[in-house]
Amino acid sequence: VKAFAFVGSMRGTKSNGYRKVKEFLDMPYWKEYEKEIITADMVEISRCRGCSACFTKGICMQDQKDDMQKIKQKLLEADVIILASPVYLHQVSGAMKDFVDRISYWTHIFRLIGKRAIVFSVSGTNGNEYVDSYLKKVLTTMGCYVAGCMDIQINKEDYKEEFNEVIEKLEQSFQHPEQCKPTAFQQELYDTFRNRYIIDEVGCEAAYWFSQGYFQYDSFEQLLKAYL
């Protein structure tokens, strides 16, 4: 079992996001896990050029030139994905935005379905809710089940109780996957894409849906059940 965390801070191991995610993953719960934390300064992630080749051809020309291919592989191999972002003016950091832009097309193919995810937002004092809601939306749109959001503020040190609550929710999702309900937005997306791709004979997104057998389900809830 693997846990992979991407921290959208350029401050490396000094970053509060990095320190808190590390503290979280150092808890006994994760002892059987293979764990990796990457901060944005440790890797090269070029900004999306907007060519849309990912949507039309399923490939990103920049993947050959920077570290994104490697990072995508880590995301696909992970059982639990953690996205942690600094709160910058009530939004994710630019580094986190560059990262999610490069995997945008995964939102059309539920590429991370079956994975559990956790969000960390890290602020001085305020604005965590905007980052939580944005990253939660990104992850659920890619098919993840989000077990919880951790709001970190730098003037508070002890998050043991909140960490335990998220871990409990995560463990619950492994013990009782049938209780992991999809969000209304996931259901809506599934219906929209299903109607669009089922009549699309050329697109790479439709081809992915066919290859994965996504069309055989009547609802996202059924699809999710097959993967969790």
Ligand X SMILES: Cc1cc2nc3c(=O)[nH]c(=O)nc-3n(C[C@H](O)[C@H](O)[C@H](O)COP(=O)(O)O)c2cc1C
Instruction: Assess 121 for contact with ligand X (CB under 6 A).
Output: no
Candidates 28-36, 58-66, 118-126, 164-172 — which segment interacts with ligand X by CB under 6 A? 118-126
Q: How far apart are the first and last CA of the chain?
A: 14
Instruction: Assess 122 for contact with ligand X (CB under 6 A).
Output: yes
Using CA atoms, how far apart are residues 157 and 19, in angstroms rounded to an integer?
Answer: 11
> Cβ of residue 215: shortest distance to ligand X, in angstroms?
41
Residue 44 is given by DSSP the state: -
Instruction: Assess 12 for contact with ligand X (CB under 6 A).
Output: no
What secondary structure, in 3-state letters, does 149-217 show? EEEEECCCCCCHHHHHHHHHHHHHHHHCHHHCCCCHHHHHHHHHHHHHHCCCCCCHHHHHHHHHCHHHC
> Cβ of residue 84: shortest distance to ligand X, in angstroms?
7
> Cβ of residue 30: shortest distance to ligand X, in angstroms?
20
> Cβ of residue 130: shortest distance to ligand X, in angstroms?
9
Are 166 and 148 in contact by the 8 Å Cβ rule? The answer is yes
Candidates 74-82, 86-94, 100-108, 181-189 — which segment interacts with ligand X by CB under 6 A? 86-94
Candidates 88-96, 142-150, 186-194, 198-206 — which segment interacts with ligand X by CB under 6 A? 88-96
Instruction: Assess 126 for contact with ligand X (CB under 6 A).
Output: yes
Candidates 21-29, 60-68, 121-129, 143-151 — which segment interacts with ligand X by CB under 6 A? 121-129
Instruction: Assess 150 for contact with ligand X (CB under 6 A).
Output: no
> Cβ of residue 156: shortest distance to ligand X, in angstroms?
12
Are 150 and 170 in contact by the 8 Å Cβ rule? The answer is no
Question: Which member of 48, 62, 100, 123 binds ligand X (CB under 6 A)?
Answer: 123
Strands lying side by side in the sheet with 116-123: 34-39, 2-7, 80-86, 116-123, 145-153
Question: What is the rounded radius of gyration, in angstroms, for the C-alpha atoms of the chain?
Answer: 17
- Scanning the structure block, which residue is given the tokens 């960490």? 163
Instruction: Assess 16 for contact with ligand X (CB under 6 A).
Output: yes
Please name the amino acid found at residue 143.
Answer: G
Instruction: Assess 90 for contact with ligand X (CB under 6 A).
Output: yes
- Scanning the structure block, which residue is given the tokens 């998220």? 166
Size of the site for ligand X (CB under 6 A): 17
Instruction: Assess 94 for contact with ligand X (CB under 6 A).
Output: no
Where do contacts with ligand X occur on this chain (CB under 6 A)? 9, 11, 15-17, 86-90, 122-127, 154
